[in-house]
Structure 1
């Protein structure tokens, strides 16, 4: 049975009313608190819980933070957020876009920003006033990660890797609003995918990895749901500790 013209007009009016609400729900901010930690050069720390090393200090122009419940056992490493404080006397409207590179707990805070990022919360010339508070009320939302000059996901062979007996990788430049929740490695002799262990943060490892170039597949959880992304020849044979390899794949 078809809809009458009157019913169609009612449905159209209902859609017009609901559409702005549906769009707004995708941009909802969550209330929380934020504080900061000091460092000699205002950047992050190379010894963070995500395992990023020097990358965790300088990525995103050095605007980084430690997170508490957003750490999510390491799967929250590399997530990007817009954070803005709510004191309109001192705080800018846009706040700062940060990357989660560490774990940290404060006084009922979700974010412990480095001083470089914390200063960006403030209006021009008012950063010192904001620092005097120590802890500020904020609101935040998850945003897509985008890195200038880096479109592809990268794999860094962790410095503790020992060719050919032990392989650990760190996953860098995760684009979009995506989390890596599992990593598997193709075992050619067994003809099966074998899980790598999440050692900590975003560091995945395996004892006695297979010889030859290494095929990986990643379980990606994001705005499109949960899916597997396969990456053949992700890491070459005769890999070296400390070297970063281009995955040639993009997560958007």
Structure 2
């Protein structure tokens, strides 16, 4: 009998150790959901990705509180999220999901941070699409405590560039970024112009005030983990505003 008790204690200790290992490096936050059962309400958003299906992000997405969103610098980042089942009855235990940051969850200062103002600073909060939230939480719970951590983004194909704007205001949306998922800096070089830095306009949109129409465009993109990829002539000289071009180059995982 004593041996059985000892074995049970050892099993419990190992389980606790494994649980602690899983939590190591994870942060605490909270999560709600939005966008409806089909996630239609999540399309668009403060990163500028537009239709999240055609952009390759689907419904495994989240709007981040401003403490995480970082004025758009977090657009495209990937996070693993799991419900903190020790502190909520609304968890679906044993499930971890990966979501991509595609939107901002704005602060609501008319509500207290612990009762409705879930995205108020300094809260680290995920307003997830309903389909992915329901993988880790019970619908009637509404809000759950979570553990979360950054994780590498896995993408198919190369980095994508969508060019909009006008002759002297070129706006480039950069999507399908693997690795860190988010972009820190961008430069552009036209076939008839020198290399020049671009500035973040909003979300994942980067701007140049140079006249680039009629030129083939080369981009250098630096991710937030410090890696840079150079994409030569990814946009051909015959490009038109509103077109998208996918490179054969991608960030390593």
> How far apart are residue 56 of structure 1 and its match?
6.7
Q: In the alignment, is residue 111 of structure 1 matched against residue 126 of structure 2?
A: yes
1:199 is paired with a residue whose SS is strand
**Distance between the aligned counterparts of 2:55 and 2:140, measured in 1?**
25
**Distance between the aligned counterparts of 1:250 and 1:58, measured in 2?**
15
Structure 1 pair 59–212 and aligned structure 2 pair: CA distance change class (3 A): closer
1:132 is paired with a residue whose SS is helix
| Match of residue 194, structure 1, among 193, 196, 204 | 196
1:116 is paired with a residue whose SS is helix
| Match of residue 179, structure 2, among 171, 176, 179 | 176
**Distance between the aligned counterparts of 2:157 and 2:220, measured in 1?**
19
1:13 equivalent in structure 2:
none
**Distance between the aligned counterparts of 1:220 and 1:55, measured in 2?**
21
Structure 1 pair 145–26 and aligned structure 2 pair: CA distance change class (3 A): farther
1:28 equivalent in structure 2:
25
> How far apart are residue 204 of structure 1 and its match?
0.7
**Distance between the aligned counterparts of 2:249 and 2:190, measured in 1?**
21
Cα contact 2:191–2:215 (8 A) shared by 1: no
1:71 is paired with a residue whose SS is helix
Q: CA RMSD in A?
A: 2.6
> How far apart are residue 143 of structure 1 and its match?
1.1
1:205 is paired with a residue whose SS is strand
1:142 is paired with a residue whose SS is strand
Matches within 5 A, 1:79-158: 79-87=77-85, 89=89, 90-105=91-106, 106-107=117-118, 108-122=123-137, 130-147=138-155, 150-158=156-164
Q: Structure 1 unaligned runs (5+)?
A: 1-19, 123-129
**Distance between the aligned counterparts of 1:190 and 1:208, measured in 2?**
9
Cα contact 2:229–2:251 (8 A) shared by 1: no
Cα contact 1:45–1:56 (8 A) shared by 2: no
Structure-2-length-normalised TM-score? 0.75
Cα contact 1:35–1:134 (8 A) shared by 2: yes
Structure 1 pair 40–231 and aligned structure 2 pair: CA distance change class (3 A): same
Q: Structure 2 unaligned runs (5+)?
A: 1-16, 107-116
**Distance between the aligned counterparts of 1:119 and 1:231, measured in 2?**
39
Cα contact 1:168–1:205 (8 A) shared by 2: yes
**Distance between the aligned counterparts of 1:169 and 1:92, measured in 2?**
41
Structure-1-length-normalised TM-score? 0.75
Cα contact 1:155–1:246 (8 A) shared by 2: yes
**Distance between the aligned counterparts of 2:241 and 2:52, measured in 1?**
15
**What per-residue deviation string (whole Å, max 9, x for no partner) do you get for residues 74-125 of structure 1?**
1210111111111265323223211100010451452001111111113xxx
> How far apart are residue 187 of structure 1 and its match?
5.2
2:134 is paired with a residue whose SS is helix
- Which one is further off, 69-78 or 227-236? 227-236
2:44 is paired with a residue whose SS is coil
2:200 is paired with a residue whose SS is strand
Which aligned runs of 4 or more in structure 1 are off by greater than 4 angstroms? 24-27, 187-190
**Distance between the aligned counterparts of 2:46 and 2:54, measured in 1?**
12
